[in-house]
Structure 1
Amino acid sequence: MRTKTPYLRIMLATLRMAARDRARLAELGATLSRHGLGYLGARLGLGTSGTDDELDSPNAPRRLRRALEELGPTYIKFGQILATRTDLLGPKWIAELELLQSDAPTLPFALLRSAVEQALGEPVTSAFAQFEEEPLAAASMAQVHRARLASGEDVVVKVRRPDIRPRMEADLRILTELAAVAERASADLRHFRPAAMITQLSEALLQELDFTVEARNADTLRADFARDSRVVVPCIHWSHTSEALLVMDYIDGIAPLSGDVLRAAGIDTVAIASLGADVVLDMVLINGRFHADPHPGNLRCLEGNRLALLDLGLVGHVSPRRREEFVSFTQALLSSDSDALADVLMAWAAGGDASPDAVRLAAEGLIARHGGHGLILSALMADFMPLLRERGLVMPPDLILIFKALVTMDGVLMRIEPEFDLSAAIQRSTIRLAAARLGPDHWQPILRALVWELAKIGDSAPQLVRAAAKRLSDTPPSDSVALRAQNQASRALVRALWGGSSLIAAAILAVRFL
């Protein structure tokens, strides 16, 4: 039997989901209704009611923001992701969603002590020589305390809030199902690619819930910048760290909020801005791993013009293909090449509904406004995303995360050094990318893979040679033309054997000495 309306199909899917998460699903619907968003709940099959003009109201963005804050950390994080989607939402919605904060009231340490001691496997008083029960900061998922180890190191202790994981996992199950239902039922909602956004949200939240992920991220980024003493990543104390508890070195520095404050502390703002740009671009273009939220609260400027990276719960990854596309994107802008820019945008819009003409017009519009001169990334993105929205282009979620990190860092740099030109930093990073591709670290894994493939071919070489030789000998030529063809084939076989053996030898030597 076929259902008569998409809303009935939504309701049927919601009923299947409700058996496991009925109470939270009801809370979601009631919250949307209470904030005057019953129509949105109805579109999602939550059994609420409302009229379609609710979302056209000037107050709708604020009502949505308040509803998300009331629903808690999962929905706050979802709203923060939506706030980056200027390619999908208009300025009023973006401005309101950017106000979403993860701040939360602090919990008395008495409510956390048992969880902390369970994670440590010993009492707090024996694990630490000193522990400050008054928290340094609190967010919706965790709060942070200062402490000192018995060995004398000053550390911070990040404690996950009790019972938060089951609630967030239930929220993610609900959002995953609602996104899938929305894509099936509505072409308008499908344009937003809600399933991809919820996948991005799930990956981000599951990483942040497990503090060992943040600890490994810190170790990885520290190794990435091991040769640059200007970049500091706090050391992790693994003996005290677990999924629900993170202990790392305390770093005392100045958040990059004001150039005047930094200069008063003896920090060269030009040097620190240049370093910040190099760090974020190298993470994206060379290392393929980047701090996904480098806002001032997650950065510290240290004496000697050094920069510390904090709060590494969310680290994005960039594929080699995306790195090449981003370099092509920036180079096309700097050289005012609208055709090259259109090629990049077409690759990014693959799978969407945008026509080649729309992509070309978007590229030409972007070149007209920003091509051929220094890049102010925040201004570029302020034009870029609305332009994509006007032309019907939707960016892949992984690219949105990259641009968000770059725009966030660009905002930090402009705050402390307003005349900073990011285009010079991009050119420097592109040169370093080219140099890295010529170095042994890039070629060694490629050559090892080549040797392995050649070794597999080499194992079969005797049989192949015997088969080729037998075929040549078993088919005597009947005329001079065939004889010449046989001779050519024999010479080709010899050349192939010689070339193959030389290639194997060269690859083995390269892997050995690189």
Structure 2
Amino acid sequence: MRLTQHNAIYLHARRYREIINVIVKYGFGYLLERIGLARLISGDKYRKVRRLTAPERVRLMLEELGPTFVKLGQILATRPDVIPPDYIEEIKKLHDRIPGVGFDRIKEQVERELGIRIEEVFSSFEPQPFAAASIAQVHRAVLKSGQSVVVKVQRPGIERVIKADLDILQSLARLAERHIPESRIYDPVGLVEEFAHALQRELDFTREGWNVERFRRNFEGDYSVYVPRVFWEFTTRRVLTIEYVSGVRVDQLDKIEEMGISRKKIAEKGARAILKQIFAHGFFHADPHPGNILVRPDGRIAFIDFGMMGRIDRYTRYKMADLIKNVVKRDEERIVDILLDIGDAGRQCNIGELQLDVQDMLERYYGRTLKEINMTGLLNEIFATANRYGIKIPPGFALLSKAILTIDGIGRQLYPEFDFIKIAGPFVKQLMKERYSLPYMARVLRANLGEAARSLLLLPDLIGEIYDKVKRESIKIDFEYNGLEKFAFELNRMTNRLVFSMIVAALIIGTSLIIRSNAGPHLQGFPIMGILGFVLAGVLGFGLLISIIKTGIM
């Protein structure tokens, strides 16, 4: 059940005031004034932090607000379509900066969850965590069997804190949408709901355990990637016990060289592993920062921390591959088409201006080789531009883009000559080949024909309803320029297809008449003009089918 703004204030009054005081302290009190909470502001506490940049103040504010807001910052850092690059770079520093909980409370939490004394499960359990995050902390331990493991333990009482903070965030988001019109383009309520859903999933460690299992199955037989085992008998909703993986962080360049492993090979191997997750599995590590990727002594790549995973369907994979292909080709028209296909365009979307902006963006790279272009940075810039024009890019695309950006950055750090496009090329080509294969085209055509048939069955009733409404009362239609432009764009595309279809149909009919009349020069007993007509009709018809499949709609 959703809380109203007033219920949230009264139910969590003390926490509400704490949050407001911290927001004011870091210089964002003017936002509270705009959403009508000026009465809750007490004094000017901003003076002490005036010399800090705005991104630094945001990071420090999130840290002081506590675990929920730290996690919010970490998730926002995966949304380059919403957060500017300088803020993302600063917010990234939130990783691994959270103080740990005392061992007595952790021991109590583990024993409560497992229903057994900690000494009966582990022969040793290190009291000091070697990693502490906003929701949980991780301890090294050894099972009675001698197996080295890491135990991820949820912070005691964190669920209660998160529930209160989420209620407050939802009320603040609704106030922002109501009182700050320019915020609506970012859909604050939707962002908080998306964050709340992701956070609720992350609070259940059994989900993370299943993520590891699925990841492990996906890479079965691939000896370039190592995936740890989950010990389910010692795993619950708040405790996750997983195999300890030895290795060095992927950004510890000196240690990698000391192990005698080629940095170039590690860069290429890591990139292929991420791209395989995205384009082949549709299930990928959504937070592949250097702390979550290890290089083992045998040269294999190991991923850890599977709390944040991305999932994308086949259609989204095709669109991402199509986008990369057209960015390489620098085809701004096709890029805008793809953005409109994958995103939800609002009324304020000016397609002509968007196309010009994308064209300007691509022209900045004119004359450069593909290796010189920061492809992932360019993709993020395209998504940010689309967002500025009111096109809401699905969260899965943003996570995917962030994963690609991260692995590209790590690759260049390991090996300055790292060429992302060269590594990504085979994956993109394979997807394009699959997409234009006859089985896939047949499936799409069958689905579209089925949808068209259902629409035709509904059409008489729909026309009848419109006719009755026209008879009873007038229908008022409001046209806004930007909305009309998008309508005209879609109408133009449909009209072009209709005319194209008519030309193909006319060619088939005309060619059939030529063959029937048996006129003109012949080849193997058939009129040459008739053969050429059928070939041309086939090529044009195939082109029309490709156009339909590219957009996924009739």
Same topology, TM > 0.5: yes
Q: 1:87 to 1:157 in 2, by over 3 A?
A: closer
Q: Which moved more, 1:241-250 or 1:264-273?
A: 264-273
Q: Give the secondary-structure state (helix, strand or coil) at the position aligned to 2:330.
A: coil
Task: Extract unaligned runs of 5+ from structure 1.
Answer: 1-11, 454-514
Check conservation: 1:42, 1:48, Cα contact below 8 A: no
TM-score by length of structure 2 reads 0.71
Q: Which amino acid in structure 1 is aligned with residue 370 of structure 2? A: H
Q: Give the secondary-structure state (helix, strand or coil) at the position aligned to 2:247.
A: coil
Q: Give the secondary-structure state (helix, strand or coil) at the position aligned to 1:107.
A: coil
Task: Extract unaligned runs of 5+ from structure 2.
Answer: 451-554
User: What is residue 27 of structure 1 aligned with on the other side?
Assistant: 18
User: What is residue 79 of structure 1 aligned with on the other side?
Assistant: 73
- Count of aligned positions: 434
Of 196, 199, 204, the residue aligned with 2:198 is 204
User: What is residue 481 of structure 1 aligned with on the other side?
Assistant: none
Q: 1:69 to 1:75 in 2, by over 3 A?
A: same
1:398-413 map, 5 Å: 398-413=396-411
Alpha-carbon deviation of 1:110?
1.6
- The CA distance in 2 between the partners of 1:159 and 1:270, in whole Å, is 36
Check conservation: 1:299, 1:309, Cα contact below 8 A: yes
User: What is residue 260 of structure 2 aligned with on the other side?
Assistant: 266
- The CA distance in 2 between the partners of 1:323 and 1:111, in whole Å, is 44
User: What is residue 115 of structure 1 aligned with on the other side?
Assistant: 109
User: What is residue 510 of structure 2 aligned with on the other side?
Assistant: none
1:373 aligns with 2:370: yes
- The CA distance in 1 between the partners of 2:79 and 2:306, in whole Å, is 22
Q: Give the secondary-structure state (helix, strand or coil) at the position aligned to 2:139.
A: strand
Alpha-carbon deviation of 1:235?
0.4
1:426 aligns with 2:417: no
- The CA distance in 1 between the partners of 2:195 and 2:419, in whole Å, is 32
Alpha-carbon deviation of 1:386?
5.6
- The CA distance in 2 between the partners of 1:79 and 1:211, in whole Å, is 21
Any idea what the Cα deviations from partners look like across 1:332-389, whole Å, max 9, x if unmatched? 0122222211211223443333211122113312332347724533442564456456
Any idea what the Cα deviations from partners look like across 1:79-106, whole Å, max 9, x if unmatched? 2333444444445544443333452222
- The CA distance in 1 between the partners of 2:292 and 2:221, in whole Å, is 22
TM-score by length of structure 1 reads 0.76
Any idea what the Cα deviations from partners look like across 1:388-436, whole Å, max 9, x if unmatched? 5665655333322111111111111111111111112211112444677
Q: 1:219 to 1:196 in 2, by over 3 A?
A: same
1:282 aligns with 2:276: yes
Of 321, 324, 341, the residue aligned with 1:330 is 324
- The CA distance in 1 between the partners of 2:144 and 2:83, in whole Å, is 52
User: What is residue 135 of structure 2 aligned with on the other side?
Assistant: 141
- The CA distance in 2 between the partners of 1:219 and 1:304, in whole Å, is 22
- The CA distance in 1 between the partners of 2:141 and 2:211, in whole Å, is 22
1:359 aligns with 2:350: no
Q: Which moved more, 1:14-23 or 1:66-75?
A: 14-23
- The CA distance in 2 between the partners of 1:149 and 1:57, in whole Å, is 51
Any idea what the Cα deviations from partners look like across 1:267-305, whole Å, max 9, x if unmatched? 222222112111111211221111011011001111332
Aligned-residue CA RMSD in angstroms? 3.1
Q: 1:13 to 1:42 in 2, by over 3 A?
A: farther
- The CA distance in 1 between the partners of 2:85 and 2:214, in whole Å, is 37
Q: 1:299 to 1:27 in 2, by over 3 A?
A: same
Any idea what the Cα deviations from partners look like across 1:428-476, whole Å, max 9, x if unmatched? 112444677799xx99xx89x99xx9xxxxxxxxxxxxxxxxxxxxxxx
Check conservation: 2:318, 2:432, Cα contact below 8 A: no
Alpha-carbon deviation of 1:44?
3.8
